[in-house]
Structure 1
Amino acid sequence: MHWKLVIDCAEPHALAGFWAEALGYVVEDNSAFIEGLLAAERAPAELTVEVGGKRAWRHLVGVRHPEDPYEEETGIGKGRRLLFIQVPEPKTVKNRLHMDLHPGAGKREAEVARLVALGASVLREVDEPGGRWTVLSDIERNEFCVS
């Protein structure tokens, strides 16, 4: 079985880049597939954009774990995958679903600093009997935790 978590956003390519770096994932390369669809006139060029010198879908992009399988023809991952889709409405409330990142014992502060350097913001530090963690937000204000 493979899966994907779909994340609504305003800027899918920017958010995908953030999370690819944050998780050590790779941004999916759909360019060969897209070029084939364009050449066969099965997709209009206005649905695409150039990112990093390659053709990509304008309104969506996926990231996948680098060790997971993927379809060579399409570039689409068949394992642990996040899909970022552009939506018109802005984020307005706290996430109902969020990621918890676990860098390992004694590495939380360094990981938080790395994520802040990528564009994340620290929202608060939590120190409870059940544990310690840092609540952050990504570049589109989606909350996540590092423990």
Structure 2
Amino acid sequence: MTALEWKLVVDTRNAPALADFWAAALAYQVEDNSALITGLLAAGRLPEAAVAEHNGTRVFRGFAAIRHPDDPYDKATGIGRGRRILFQDVPEPKPAKNRLHIDVHAGPDARDATVARLEALGATRVEEVDKGPAGHWWLMCDPEGNEFCVA
């Protein structure tokens, strides 16, 4: 059996802003779909109402994605073909604790510096967890309150 392709999808209130946060947090790249959007608009296959502007670039309204900088991507569409996270706006607020979260592995020598860097990007510390030999990490929240850990 061949491994399946996948992407992680995160529900958001502001997809482009959260994509910017996670791209900076993980050293990923925000996907640039502006050429695809321009082509779809010109062909009449996308209504102008489905497009927004973020940081001077046309984006799909309510959607943004980031990709690992070393992974392949389609140059015509900007869509990654490897490790990706897609952010999509939803109308309802986050109801409770995440059932799935990202662990950022900084290593014990870089954990404190990574936590400080993520705070500067807009994350907040929630709780320091020390399980002795089982691990030591910080539980944090991204700017929209999604939990993640830094170990």
- Counting only pairs closer than 5 Å after superposition, residues 25-36 of structure 1 correspond to structure 2 as 25-36=28-39
- Counting only pairs closer than 5 Å after superposition, residues 132-143 of structure 1 correspond to structure 2 as 132-143=136-147
CA distance in 1, matches of 2:41, 2:74: 19
Of residues 52, 66, 86, the one that matches 2:69 is 66
Q: Deviation at 1:73?
A: 1.1
Q: Percent of aligned positions with the same letter in both sequences?
A: 56
Stretches of structure 1 lacking an aligned partner (at least 5 in a row): none
User: Where does structure 1 differ by over 2 angstroms across 4 or more consecutive aligned residues?
Assistant: none
Q: Indicate the SS of the match to 2:25.
A: helix
CA distance in 1, matches of 2:45, 2:131: 55
Q: Which residue number in structure 2 is paired with residue 128 of structure 1?
A: 131
Listed one character per residue, the Cα deviations across residues 92-131 of structure 1 (whole Å, up to 9, x for unaligned) are 2000000111112311000000000000000000111311
Bigger shift: 49-58 or 116-125? 49-58
Question: How big is the alpha-carbon RMSD for the aligned residues of Structure 1 and Structure 2?
Answer: 0.9
1:47 paired to 2:50:
yes
Q: Which residue number in structure 1 is paired with residue 82 of structure 2?
A: 79
Stretches of structure 2 lacking an aligned partner (at least 5 in a row): none
Q: Which residue number in structure 1 is paired with residue 149 of structure 2?
A: 145
TM-score (normalizing by structure 1): 0.97
Q: Indicate the SS of the match to 1:61.
A: strand
| Number of residue pairs aligned between Structure 1 and Structure 2 | 147
Q: Indicate the SS of the match to 1:97.
A: coil
Q: Indicate the SS of the match to 1:3.
A: coil
